[in-house]
Structure 1
Amino acid sequence: MQPKISIIVPIYNREKELARCLQSLLKQTFKEIEIILINDGSTDDSVELIHHYAEKDERIVVINQNNKGVSIARNQGLLMAKGKYVGFVDSDDWVELTMYERLFQIAEEREADVVMCSYVREFLGGSKEKQLSEQKIIHLQGKQVQTNLLRRLIGPIRHELGQPEMLDAWGTVWSKLYRRDVLRISQATFVNLDEIGTNEDTLFNMQVLTCAQSFVFYNQPFYHYWRGNDKSVTAIHKSNLLVKWRCLFQHIERIVNDRCRQEVVYQYALQNRISMSVLGLGLNEIYAKNRTHDKKIKKIKRILHDEQIQRALKTLDFRHFTCIWKLFFFCAKYKFSTFFYIMLHGVEMMRKRKGGRDELGANTSSTSRYDYESRWT
């Protein structure tokens, strides 16, 4: 059977959650699928589970590789994919049984290159739907895909600046179904996190959307994003994140220059992304263990004195921020390191009170959740 949808699942040490994920895929009402499982060097019982399910269902394709990270694993899956469409699922998440039937139907009916659904964040103590839009369905066609969605992924402008926490909310890959021809034409691949630190999903989507001619958002929460006991989990500090994010910005700038005809609005959006990166970079520093307050402030001072960040902050329009965010970015712009450090702790307290990093730390994150990666999305 030639599959119509290829579902790519990278796996690294997920023995506790993997069965739930695979059962939700194998029970899909849409049967013409292949499930590509990439074992990324797991050292737990994930390997046994993978082969147990593969023996039971011929739709499962297994790839074993040494531990190379989620980006390389997904790229291997893309090379193996045979379906007309491609989807991604993280191995600790699960999906509604009708998800791929409905997304496939929408893609065919509307001739969409990318279809996206909403999702639910799942905690040990309950669940919370991510509110992306009040509209039931959004259909972007032609140039609208670039001027609306691609530009939004590159960076916020105008009223979007008032919601720093929503910077990368539309950038996930696991809530989408992609036409494989568009992935091929755009030559989209996942960049290694060792190079860019985070945001591999958003960068992948930027590549895809430069070539997409039709995008549909269907406001139905088909995807379940497992956060576990995330309200009490301590965030992981990432070393050299400033250096890696400079590389991330270079990748985005290359997309702007090569594929967006260097239009001013895209350049401006990128500068806003760079400005707002002080939130993620700052939070990353306060998460550093075994470091005194003075040393953390010194690290933050280095961030606020970065030439690229300061150039971007000079162009940042403060009018759309709430009072708290105005003060926050004012401290960043004028390099008030100690006050900025205090405000970061306030942001972190708000994040915990609101129930997880989605609320205030979305723009700091990788959307992948291997044990060695941050879970800030």
Structure 2
Amino acid sequence: MESVPKISIVVPVYNASDYIDLLMESLLSQDVVNMEIIAVNDGSTDDSLSILKKWSCFDSRITVLNISNGGPSRARNIGMNYARGEWLYFVDADDWVAPETLKCWIYLAEKNNVDFLLGNAFSFENEPTGEHRNIFIKQPWGRCISGEDWIIHAVAQAEWPHYCWLQFIRRDFLIHHDITYPEDILHEDILWTMNLSLAAKCIYFDVTPRYGYRCNQQSIMNVSTPTAIAKRINGYIFLIDRIVQIGTEKRGDLRKAILLQANRECGHLLGLFRKRLHDKELKSFLAHVALRKVPFKLLLYEARSFKEVWRIMRMWLLLKKYL
């Protein structure tokens, strides 16, 4: 009888042929035999698929799923549905995982009986070597708290690590709460992490930077074409509207924290309109969309400082200018 893997690692892959080898080497060097790696090739147009097939021939724990291009959220959902492990971990194809990371996380996650563990990361450009400086510093390291308390803490500290590659998740927890990735939008990690946190009763925080995040200038977040910027703006519009909906369903400090986060996301939206989008027709179209979908009156009413009020007013006035 085939054994059930302890860990399922899901890797969405799109045109990552330059980086796959380094990632696979780091995953296969983990001191965990009982795992599976589900690489979801998301319609790559480079040599990614052939490289993945080479690795699957080298190690039977690697499964390659080849799908039409639908974005990383859809690829993660497909990989999640295929996963069989007790624990689920998402990794990006151009990044790197430090040795013994999974061994350490299994120990900490099971010792503390968590719904998910949140790790730390460092950034690199070419090789993940040398001194590693933590990306995040203001988390409740070495402690367990609920997801609601984490949202309140993270927003208060203005540091909310919403990246799925920091999250080591009990798969039964995801199934029980029916948590999946929102598809066809950008900035989906933020909404995913909010849904994850609101359901979690126990999260443990590991301070050691074990995940190497590559500063990749080819990622969608660094592409500056009008279409790419418009897609990011649409993502923020959807995100702000959804966060506000979630926040208004809560009470007390949790409501305040979630609505403050929505206010801050308006700042990112403002920056894209002011500094990154230069196409006048697109600006006019997206301004109409934003004014229709972003609940500015509610955000203004909930603002609790001059800075928060001014952020919403600037966003609203700027959008009006482009009508």
Tell me which interval the TM-score lies in, with the shorter structure as reference length. Answer: 0.7 to 0.9
* Aligned counterpart for 1:215 among listed residues 187, 196, 203: 203
**Could you say which residue in structure 2 is the equivalent of 1:12?**
14
Structure 2 residue runs of 5 or longer lacking an equivalent are none
1:241-288, CA deviations, whole angstroms, 9 ceiling, x for partnerless residues? 55544433444455557xxx6324333333222322232112222212
Question: Quick one: structure 1 residues 329 and 14, their matched pair in 2 at CA, closer, same or farther if it must change by over 3 Å?
Answer: farther
Aligned counterpart, 1:81: 83
User: 1:267 aligns to what SS in structure 2?
Assistant: helix
- For 2:137, the aligned partner's letter is L
- Give the alignment partner of residue 189 of structure 1, picking from 159, 162, 180: 180
Counterpart residue type for residue 310 of structure 2: F
Does the CA contact (< 8 Å) of 2:234 and 2:286 recur in 1? no
Residues 1:2 and 1:191: Cα distance change in structure 2 (over 3 Å)? same
Q: Work out which of the residue numbers 101, 106, 115 in structure 1 matches 2:108.
A: 106
Shift of 1:208: 2.5
Letter in 2 for 1:179: R
- Aligned match of 2:238: 247
Q: Alignment partner of 2:17: what SS? A: coil
After alignment, is 119-128 or 219-228 more displaced?
Answer: 119-128
Residue 98 to residue 307, structure 1, CA distance change in 2 (3 Å): closer
- The structure 1 residue matched to 2:191, chosen from 203, 206, 209, is 203
Report if aligned partners of 1:10, 1:73 keep a CA contact under 8 Å in 2. Answer: yes
Distance 1:41 1:297, change over 3 A: closer
> Once the 2 structures are TM-superposed, how far is the Cα of residue 75 of structure 1 from its aligned partner?
0.5
Q: Is 1:330 aligned with 2:310? A: yes
Q: Cα RMSD between the aligned structures?
A: 3.3
Q: Deviations over 1:101-138 (max 9, x none)?
A: 00001111111111111000112498643033376412
Matches of 2:79 and 2:286 in 1, distance apart? 38
Deviations 1:162-211 (CA, angstroms, capped at 9, x unpaired): x4xx3xx321111111011101111010011x3xx333122222223333
- Whole-angstrom CA distance in 1 between matches of 2:247 and 2:65: 34
Q: 2:276 aligns with which of 287, 290, 295?
A: 287
**d(CA) in 2 for partners of 1:267, 1:62:** 42
**Aligned partners of 1:21 and 1:94 also within 8 Å:** yes
Residue 222 to residue 110, structure 1, CA distance change in 2 (3 Å): same
* Structure-1 residue corresponding to 2:143: 138
Structure 1 counterpart of 2:254: 266
Query: What count of residue pairs does the alignment treat as equivalent?
Result: 309
C-alpha spacing 1:310/1:99, structure 2 compared with 1 (3 Å) = same
Asked whether the 8 Å contact 1:304–1:337 carries over to 2, the reply is no
User: 1 CA distance for matches of 2:40 and 2:46?
Assistant: 14
Kept after mapping to 2: 8 A contact 1:122/1:128: no
Q: Pick closer, same or farther for the CA change 1:234–1:218 going to 2, 3 Å.
A: same
Alignment match, 1:350: none
Cα deviations by residue, 1:328-363 (Å, 9 ceiling, x for unpaired):
96264265649x9xxxxxxxxxxxxxxxxxxxxxxx
Q: Would the aligned equivalents of 2:116 and 2:203 in 1 still touch at CA under 8 Å?
A: yes
Structure 1 runs not aligned, ≥5 long? 320-325, 341-377
SS at match of 2:295: helix
Task: Decide whether the 8 Å contact of 2:144 with 2:205 is kept in 1.
Answer: yes
2:300 counterpart residue number: 313
Q: Which moved more, 1:125-134 or 1:57-66?
A: 125-134
| Structure 2 partner of 1:359 | none
Aligned equivalents of 1:4 and 1:305: distance in 2?
46
Q: Which residue, 21, 26, 29 being the options, matches 1:27?
A: 29
